A = this chain, B = another copy of it.
Amino acid sequence: MISWLRQLSWPILDNLRSPVDVARCELANAFPGLSVSLNPDPSLGEGYRLDRSSSGWIVSGGPAGILYGAYALILKTLSGETVPDSFSSAPYYPLRMLDCWDNMSGDIERGYSGRSLFFEDGRFDYDPARMRELGRLLASCGLNVLCINNVNVHEPAQLLLEDYLPEAAALADIFRPFGIRLMFSVDFSRPLKHGLSTADPLDPAVRSWWKETAALVYHAIPDLAGFLVKADSEGRPGPFSYGRNHAEGANMLAEAVKPYGGYIVWRCFVYNCRQDWRDTKTDRPMAAWEHYASLDGQFSSNVILQVKYGPFDFQVREPVSPLLLGMKRTNLAMELQLAQEYTGHQIDLFTMIPMWRELFDDLPANRIMSVAAVSNLGRDENYTGHPLAAVNLYTYGLLAWDPSVDAEQAVSAWVRLAYGFTPDENRKLTELLLSSRRTYEKYTAPLGIGWMVNPHGHYGPSPDGYEFDLWGTYHKADRNAVGIDRTVSGTGYLSQYSPEFRAKFEDPATCPDLYLLFFHRLPYTFRMKDGRMLIQRIYDDHFEGYGETVAMSEVLRSLPFPDPDRAEIDRRMEMQLRNAKEWCDIINTFFHRLSGVPDAHGRTIYP
Contact surface of A with B, Cβ cutoff 8 Å: 277-278, 280, 461-464, 468, 476-480, 582, 585-586, 589-590, 592-596, 606-607
Q: How far is the CA of A206 from the CA of B320 in the complex (A)?
A: 67
**Residue in chain B with minimal CB distance to A476:** B607
Decide: B607 and A280 in contact? CB cutoff 8 A: yes
Please give me the 4 A-B residue pairs with the lowest Cβ-Cβ distance, nearest first: A478-B593, A479-B479, A278-B606, A464-B464
In the complex, which of the residues B477, B480, B593 contacts A477, with contact meaning CB atoms closer than 8 Å?
B593
> What is the bound-complex CA distance between A346 and B167, given in angstroms?
48
Structural contact, A594 and B479, CB atoms closer than 8 A: yes
Main SS at interface, chain A: loop
User: Which residue of chain B is the closest to A480 with respect to CB atoms?
Assistant: B596
Residues of chain B within 8 A (CB-CB) of A461 are 468
Cβ–Cβ < 8 Å partners of A479 in chain B: 479, 593-596
Q: Evaluate contact between A586 and B468: CB separation under 8 angstroms.
A: yes
**A478-B594 contact, Cβ under 8 Å, with A464-B462, A468-B461, A468-B582:** yes
Cα of A590 to Cα of B593 in the assembled complex, Å:
12
Q: Considering only CB atoms, which chain B residue lies closest to A582 in the complex?
A: B468
B residues in contact with A595, CB < 8 Å: 479
Residues of B within 8 A of A278 (CB): 585, 606
Expressed in whole angstroms, the minimum distance between the Cβ of A584 and any Cβ of chain B is: 11
CB distance from A517 to the nearest CB of B (A): 16
Question: Please, which residue of chain B has its CB at the minimum distance from the CB of A477?
Answer: B593
Q: Complex formed: what's the CA distance from A589 to B478 in Å?
A: 9
- Chain copies in complex: 2
Among A479, A480, A607, residue most surrounded by chain B Cβ atoms (within 10 Å): A479
Q: Assess whether A596 is in contact with B478, with CB atoms less than 8 Å apart.
A: yes
Contacts of A463 in B (CB 8 A): 464
CB neighbours of A468 from chain B (8 A): 461-462, 582, 586, 589
Q: What are 16 sample pairs from A and B whose C-beta atoms fall under 8 A apart?
A: A277-B606, A278-B606, A280-B607, A461-B468, A462-B468, A463-B464, A468-B582, A476-B593, A476-B607, A478-B592, A478-B594, A478-B596, A479-B595, A479-B596, A593-B594, A594-B594
Q: How far is the CA of A468 from the CA of B590 in the complex (A)?
A: 10
> Nearest-CB distance from A537 to chain B (Å)?
19
Besides the known contacts A464-B464, A477-B593, 10 further A-B residue pairs in the complex with CB atoms under 8 A apart: A462-B468, A463-B464, A464-B590, A468-B582, A476-B593, A478-B596, A478-B607, A479-B593, A479-B594, A479-B596
List of B residues within 8 angstroms of A589 by Cβ: 468
Q: How far is the CA of A607 from the CA of B467 in the complex (A)?
A: 11
* In the bound complex, CA of A497 to CA of B461 (Å): 37
Set of chain B residues within 8 Å of A594, measured between Cβ atoms: 478-479, 593-594
Closest beta carbon of chain B to A412's beta carbon, Å: 39
Q: Shortest distance in angstroms between A15's beta carbon and chain B's nearest beta carbon?
A: 48
Q: Bound complex: CA of A462 vs CA of B467, how far in Å?
A: 9
CA gap between A594 and B277 in the complex, in Å: 17
- CB closest chain-B residue, reference A468: B586
Residue of B nearest to A469 (CB): B462
Complex CA distance for A594 and B593, rounded to whole angstroms: 8
| Chain B residues positioned under 8 Å from A593 (CB to CB) | 476-479, 594
- Shortest CB-to-CB span from A459 to chain B, Å, is 14
- Which residues from chain B contact A606 at a C-beta distance below 8 Å? 277-278
* Nearest-Cβ distance from residue A551 to partner chain B, whole angstroms: 22
- A592 contacts which chain B residues (CB < 8 A)? 478
Nearest residue (CB) in B for A464 is B464
How far apart are A438's CB and chain B's nearest CB, in angstroms? Answer: 24
Residue of B nearest to A479 (CB): B479
- A596, B477: Cα distance in complex, Å: 12
Residues in B neighbouring A582, C-beta threshold 8 A: 468
| Chain B residues whose C-beta falls within 8 Å of the C-beta of A464 in the assembled complex | 462-464, 590
Report B-chain residues with C-beta under 8 Å of the C-beta of A607: 280, 476, 478
